[in-house]
């Protein structure tokens, strides 16, 4: 009995030893990863003078973060006014670029240049649109010192003149409302000096076309009401199409996000133009002014349409090539602005 008891005890002791040995050993605590901070030097592009030295900048800091730190030392140069680049003759860095992904070591030098006073793009668009709207109406209502005094505050006898005023006003009111409630503008700001060039063009061409369309001696289109109606239908069709594209592009972006996606047609038939062109908003904008030119048969309107087409083609090609460069699976059937042509 004593022998059996002794074997049982030793057996139990062996089992307990096995259990204790089978228990996993506690893992040693992980060592915290060491953060390698950056030293950022900001140098004036023109004078090569050292403006600021930022010590212990986190590697995940963006260019915008660096601009904000620079702004604390130089309050007059707010972030939108700053241009930072790695090379004196290189391109400006984007705000969203991250410090540790840039081709620099732990000591980085940035060249600073002042972009001058800036305006938000929303303000620019509103200024560009409000001016032509008001200027056209001044000519339409024949305010004094525009035409002969006997025509002051008189209305034209031609119906197409009133129709043209309604279409022109509708177009710019639509653009104003889109700027306020539809567009999600990805660009930050524009130099203040550029607004004089932009507004000068839009305002002057609006006055030029308004002067002739509302002139007391204005003659109606050669083919009469049929030509006016055709131009009106093209104008309205393209206005709806342009608005549909703007809504589709808005829905493509999340608020505050700068992530780009390939735009595709939606259930709205007006967005099916995306199958053929990269920038159907410009295609519809061109159609709008072709319709207005046909409706009014006015040389200044035709000039505005041609110049606008040239400029929109430049913008559309830039966006189209940007899509091709960024997305390998971008639809090859698409053209820039005119299907199968341009």
Contact 333, 342 (CB under 8 A): no
Q: Does residue 17 fall inside a structural domain? A: no
| pLDDT tens, residue by residue, 148-163 | 888 888 878 899 999 9
pLDDT at 28 (0 to 100): 63
Last residue of a domain, one of 164, 191, 219: 219
Number of compact structural domains in the chain: 3
What tokens appear for 231 in the block? 């131009």
pLDDT at 198 (0 to 100): 86
Whether residues 183 and 76 fall in one domain: no
Please state, in angstroms and rounded to a whole number, the distance separating the CA atoms of residues 278 and 245: 11
Whether residues 141 and 95 fall in one domain: no
Whether residues 213 and 232 fall in one domain: no
Q: Does residue 275 fall inside a structural domain? A: yes
User: Which residue range forms the structural domain that includes residue 100?
Assistant: 38-116
Q: Does residue 178 fall inside a structural domain? A: yes
| pLDDT tens, residue by residue, 51-65 | 999 888 888 899 999
Q: Does residue 42 fall inside a structural domain? A: yes
Please state, in angstroms and rounded to a whole number, the distance separating the CA atoms of residues 227 and 337: 26
Look up tokens 């930050």; give the residue: 188
Q: Does residue 247 fall inside a structural domain? A: yes
Please state, in angstroms and rounded to a whole number, the distance separating the CA atoms of residues 206 and 193: 21
What distance lies between CA 8 and its chain's CA centroid? 83
CATH number, residue 54:
3.10.20.90
What tokens appear for 263 in the block? 């735009």
Please state, in angstroms and rounded to a whole number, the distance separating the CA atoms of residues 183 and 248: 10
What tokens appear for 78 in the block? 């707010």
Whether residues 214 and 290 fall in one domain: no
pTM: 0.79
Contact 42, 21 (CB under 8 A): no
pLDDT at 256 (0 to 100): 61
Please state, in angstroms and rounded to a whole number, the distance separating the CA atoms of residues 109 and 130: 43
- CA distances 258 to 14, 165, 265, Å, are 66, 38, 21
Number of Cβ within a 10 Å radius of residue 144: 9
Q: Does residue 290 fall inside a structural domain? A: yes
The per-residue pLDDT string of the chain (342 residues; one tens digit each, 9 = 90 and over) reads: 444 444 444 455 455 454 445 566 666 666 556 777 888 999 999 988 999 998 888 888 999 999 999 999 999 998 988 999 998 888 888 888 888 888 888 888 899 999 888 888 788 889 999 999 999 999 999 988 888 888 888 878 899 999 999 999 999 999 999 998 988 776 667 788 888 888 999 999 999 999 999 999 999 999 999 999 999 999 999 999 999 999 999 988 776 666 778 999 999 999 999 999 999 999 999 999 999 999 999 999 999 999 999 999 999 999 999 999 989 999 989 999 999 998
Contact 273, 305 (CB under 8 A): no
Last residue of a domain, one of 219, 234, 260: 219
Last residue of a domain, one of 219, 254, 282: 219
What distance lies between CA 63 and its chain's CA centroid? 19
DSSP state of 98: B
pLDDT at 10 (0 to 100): 47
């Amino acid at each position: 009995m004593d022998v059996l008891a002794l074997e049982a005890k030793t057996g139990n002791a062996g089992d307990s030893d096995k259990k204790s040995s089978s228990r996993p050993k506690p893992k040693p605590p992980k060592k915290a990863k060491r953060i390698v901070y950056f030293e950022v030097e900001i140098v004036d592009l023109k004078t090569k003078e050292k403006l600021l030295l930022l010590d212990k900048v986190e590697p995940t800091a963006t260019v915008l973060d660096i601009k904000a730190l620079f702004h604390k030392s130089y309050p007059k140069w707010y972030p939108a006014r700053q241009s930072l680049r790695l090379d004196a003759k290189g391109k400006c860095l984007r705000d969203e670029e991250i410090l540790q992904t840039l081709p620099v070591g732990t000591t980085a030098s940035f060249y600073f240049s002042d972009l001058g006073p800036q305006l938000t793009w929303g303000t620019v668009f509103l200024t560009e649109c409000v001016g032509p709207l008001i200027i056209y109406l001044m000519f339409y209502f024949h305010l004094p010192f525009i035409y002969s005094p006997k025509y002051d505050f008189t209305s034209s006898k031609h119906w197409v003149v009133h129709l043209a005023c309604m279409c022109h006003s509708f177009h710019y009111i639509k653009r104003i409302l889109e700027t306020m409630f539809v567009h999600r503008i990805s660009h930050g700001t524009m130099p203040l000096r550029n607004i004089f060039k932009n507004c000068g063009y839009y305002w002057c061409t609006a006055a030029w076309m308004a002067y002739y369309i509302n002139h007391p001696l204005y003659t109606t289109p050669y083919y009469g009401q049929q030509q006016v109606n055709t131009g009106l239908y093209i104008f309205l069709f393209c206005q709806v199409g342009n608005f549909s594209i703007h809504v589709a592009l808005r829905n493509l972006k999340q608020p505050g996000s700068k992530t780009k996606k390939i735009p595709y047609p939606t259930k709205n038939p007006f967005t099916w133009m995306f199958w053929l062109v990269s920038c159907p908003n410009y295609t519809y904008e061109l159609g709008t002014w072709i319709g207005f030119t046909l409706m009014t048969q006015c040389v200044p309107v035709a000039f505005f349409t041609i110049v606008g087409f040239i400029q929109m083609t430049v913008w559309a090609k830039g966006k189209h090539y940007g899509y091709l460069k960024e997305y390998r699976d971008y639809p090859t059937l698409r053209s820039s602005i005119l299907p199968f042509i341009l």
